[in-house]
Amino acid sequence: MPVETRPGETPLGSGAAPRVEFLSVSKSYGTGIPAVDGLDLTVSPGETLVLLGTSGSGKTTALKMVNRLVEPTSGAVRVAGRSVLEWDPVLLRRSIGYVIQEIGLLPHLTVFANVCLVPRLLGWNEQARRQRAETVLRLVGLDGLDLERRYPDQLSGGQRQRAGLARALAADPPLLLMDEPFGALDPVLRVTIQDEFLAISRRLGKTILFVTHDVTEAFLLGDRIGVMHAGRLVRLGTPAEILDSPGESLVERFLGRHRRFLADLLAERKEKEKQWTS
């Protein structure tokens, strides 16, 4: 039986951004070394937390345990105070916006229909779906492109990525999971989208868990950054805290010769955020 939801509502509830908790979470794929090893981490309601680490450090595995694409070997992941294992996995996923590098738009649906998909699955009526799709497409800068007729392969890479973000936002989920969403874009486009995403995320007040291997991106977008290495969380703090005292030599190496640049970036970001909130 489908759960009744009204426009603007997901099974996770409307409005209030949830807390996400990792409680001593480990995941082993049976290969000896665990992919995630004893992760303790709380993402606060409305916060953007960036997991930063090199390839293979366990970021994607950690993220997928939130929407239950992967189940922990031990420990628990809680969303809004409730273990994700207690959720119906399908409803849980429809309540969480998920953006990945490969985007995952369905090729046989128009871009507009792709954006309307989750609201449709949640039983929103046609008018509510249409209104919402128009709103989120405007939000990501994709309005006026005749997307009711165009298919995903008729968009540029940057436009497709925006469409993927619009789709993730369509049901207005209070929680977003983003796995290297801008990684495939060329550097100029990436900077534009990162800037816009920072502005959007500030306006929306959602809880966002964002995964990247890009130090600059982490410093640009994160309220806090968690540095992962070999499945472990080795440092957690605000960008400024991490820049001031990296702690681990590994994090020090990560920042390396970019320190000066990152300090400038943070100063610039502060200015921008001041404008958005004034």
Segment contacting Mg ion by CB under 5 A, of 57-65, 74-82, 143-151, 252-260 = 57-65
Segment contacting ligand ADP by CB under 6 A, of 27-35, 74-82, 91-99, 146-154 = 27-35
Q: Which is nearer to Mg ion, 159 or 212 (CB)?
A: 212
Segment contacting ligand ADP by CB under 6 A, of 52-60, 95-103, 126-134, 188-196 = 52-60
Q: Which is nearer to ligand ADP, 55 or 127 (CB)?
A: 55
Q: Which is nearer to ligand ADP, 60 or 194 (CB)?
A: 60
* DSSP characters over 213-274: S-HHHHHHH-SEEEEEETTEEEEEE-HHHHHH---SHHHHHHHGGGHHHHHHHHHHHHHHHH
Among 31, 127, 249, 275, binds ligand ADP (CB under 6 A): 31
Is 38 a binding residue for ligand ADP by CB under 6 A? The answer is no
SS3 labels along 131-151: HHHHHHHHHCCCCCCCCCCCC
Helix (H) or strand (E) holding 40: strand 36-43
Describe the crossing of helices 126-139 and 157-169 by its angle, rounded to 10 degrees: 130
Among 60, 67, 161, 207, binds Mg ion (CB under 5 A): 60
CB atoms within 10 A of CB 41: 19
Is 61 a binding residue for Mg ion by CB under 5 A? The answer is no
In this structure, is the dihedral angle defined by the CA atoms of residues 54, 56, 60 and 61, taken in order, positive or negative? Answer: negative
Q: Which is nearer to Mg ion, 60 or 110 (CB)?
A: 60
How are beta strands 96-100 and 175-179 bridged, if at all?
A: parallel
Q: State the minimum distance, in angstroms, from the CB of residue 56 to ligand ADP.
A: 4
At which residue do the structure tokens 């080795």 appear? Answer: 234
Is 212 a binding residue for ligand ADP by CB under 6 A? The answer is no
| Number of chain positions touching ligand ADP (CB under 6 A) | 11
Q: State the minimum distance, in angstroms, from the CB of residue 61 to ligand ADP.
A: 3
Asked if 266 and 240 touch (Cβ cutoff 8 Å), the reply is: yes
In angstroms, the CA 52 to CA 212 distance is 5
Is 220 a binding residue for ligand ADP by CB under 6 A? The answer is no
Residues 6+ apart with CB under 8 A from 90: none
Is 212 a binding residue for Mg ion by CB under 5 A? The answer is no
- Closest C-alpha to 28, from 83, 71, 91: 71
Is 46 a binding residue for ligand ADP by CB under 6 A? The answer is no
Segment contacting Mg ion by CB under 5 A, of 59-67, 108-116, 240-248, 256-264 = 59-67
Chain residues binding ligand ADP by CB under 6 A are 29, 31, 35, 53, 55-61
Chain residues binding Mg ion by CB under 5 A are 60
